Structure 1
Amino acid sequence: MFELETSFLIGNYQATLNIGHAFKASSSSDAITRDWYIYRAYVHTDPSVVLNEIGRDAPLGLISVKLLAAYCQSSDNWEGVLGTIKAWLDKGEIIGNPLAEVVIATILYKAGRFEDALRVLSDTKSLEGRSLLVQLYLSMHRFDYAAKEVKQMQAIKDDAVATQLATAWLCLHDKGKYEEAAYIYQDIIEKYGSTVSLLNGLGVAYMSIGQFDKAEKILLDALVQDNKSDLTKTNLVVVSHHLDKPYDKIKRDLASIMSTSPSNPWTLNLKKADENFDLLAKKFRT
């Protein structure tokens, strides 16, 4: 199970599928956990597999993955998915189900419902659940709570990938520890291989240090691995600004991101900023 978990956490979804399909479960619990990782990998590679294969009689942990797939597939599904989650939470259906808790909290995190996600994870014991808490606290600008959670994770298992990733995220929010974040990402890459997620983390670390040339090289490597990655493209736009790339290229890249990923949080924030600017400009003109 270690290899399966590790491959998923670092974003190597094809390896997750390969390992998962070859994994021989020794118990029904292990089988559910194996399928939980497999289907979450399919959310990133082919959500239709999840939507087609997971039925109503599946364990709750797997049905929650189906909700995640639906949420990620189209913004048209957001209202329905969040409505289902509300009904589950009102009935207390996911209490004591660590697999469902992590996935439901992930959906709520994506939806920007941070406080609801925190409530779902209030009793989480898993390192992945705790790492999600770190992301939530950082998104809420509660560095102190995030640092406390990372410290607890380190006490449980310092060398676990979930702990290392959470530590790197924390370092990226601490001006004096950007280099430590880069070191952590490099170490994980050396141990388990590079992925788009890890390369973006490393690229952001180098951007934070001010080494934009190095960040660009790393992000271009990530783009080779997946030329459709919104995360890579948005980070490259940021790098391009700092490297004074031609405005036409930056404008073209922005247009591409906004066209192919209109529901991406970064795209939505950019649209909102543009709308606010237009409103202010209109006030000054009148």
Structure 2
Amino acid sequence: MASASPDLLFGLRNNFYLGAYQAAINNSDVPNLSVDDAVERDSLVYRSYIALDSYQLVINEIDSSAPTALQAVKLLALYLSGDKELTISSLREWLSDAAIGNNPVLRLVAGIIYMHEQDYSEALKHTNTSGTMDLLSLNVQIYVKMHRSDYAEKQLKLMQQIDEDHTLTQLASAWLNLAVGGSKIQEAYLIFQDFSEKYQLTGMILNGKAVCCMHMGRFDEAETLLLEALNKDAKDAETLANLVVCNLHLGKSATRYLSQLKLSHPDHVLVRRVSSAEDNFDRAVQAVA
């Protein structure tokens, strides 16, 4: 790649990738953007609002005349706000439209939505071509969820060929290292440590470090990191879920964190697991009674 003009959106993208969503929104007024860059900027800002659960703002602000990328982001907001069936039928329609079906943001949103639906093969249908960094990193996440670290590694290698130092390449490498486990956990920890030295400390970075610590049996250190993350966002699902696990290992009560998780994220995988365990327990008790 020729050393062309500087990447005006580097800071904004980085804030978004590392979970500094409010900072991404606050610093989004970047001058002299091309038309394409302005669309990318807007889609990152709206995705940041979505990450902060401000779905309605996104739905209200993006109208039908907006570019495809923004329409796609609006679909994600509609889906996450609970309008699932209608969103998925619109998504199918758009993906089959030759004029817009290939839009990388539309395909990214399709991947995210189908990943939420746990329909991984459908997600990969839309994310497996074109190879933008965002799509490749989503593929790594999908393969990790499918317990196919061999395929995830192939996607990561493609990312490393494009840009080894890219924030998403580093993040994808950390996710894969965590999935593989063993001696790779230390490598994942060092990636999050590096982020925490270079950039604003976010809940995502703190959770990343904490999960590595838990894998290494350092639960006291993990708890300290997670409480710091909880200070940044008291309702963050991953922080609450990780605190539940961490406290159980420390022999402390996790009831309060679990209650908070149930209230703010009733669909979280941990809540579902606990509920089914409770149901099984109740059924067993009734069977014996």
Regarding TM over 0.5, the answer is yes
- AA aligned to 1:11 is G
Counterpart of 2:3 in structure 1 is none
* Number of corresponding residues: 279
Q: Can you give the 5+ residue segments of structure 2 that lack an aligned partner in the other structure? A: 1-8
CA contact (8 A) 2:262 2:271 kept: yes
Q: Spell out the pairing of 1:1-286 with structure 2 (5 A cutoff).
A: 1-20=9-28, 22-45=29-52, 46-74=54-82, 77-92=83-98, 94-174=100-180, 175-246=182-253, 250-279=254-283, 281=284, 285=288
Give the alignment's Cα RMSD to 1 decimal.
1.8
CA contact (8 A) 1:130 1:149 kept: yes
CA contact (8 A) 1:25 1:34 kept: no
Q: Can you give the 5+ residue segments of structure 1 that lack an aligned partner in the other structure? A: none
Hey, what's the Cα distance between the residues in 1 that align with 2:97 and 2:276? 35
Alignment TM-score, normalising by the size of structure 1:
0.91
CA contact (8 A) 1:25 1:31 kept: no
Hey, what's the Cα distance between the residues in 2 that align with 1:104 and 1:25? 31
SS at match of 1:173: helix
- AA aligned to 1:43 is I
Could you say which structure has the higher helix fraction?
Answer: 1
Counterpart of 2:4 in structure 1 is none
Percent sequence identity is 38
CA contact (8 A) 2:219 2:250 kept: yes
SS at match of 1:55: coil
CA contact (8 A) 1:133 1:146 kept: yes
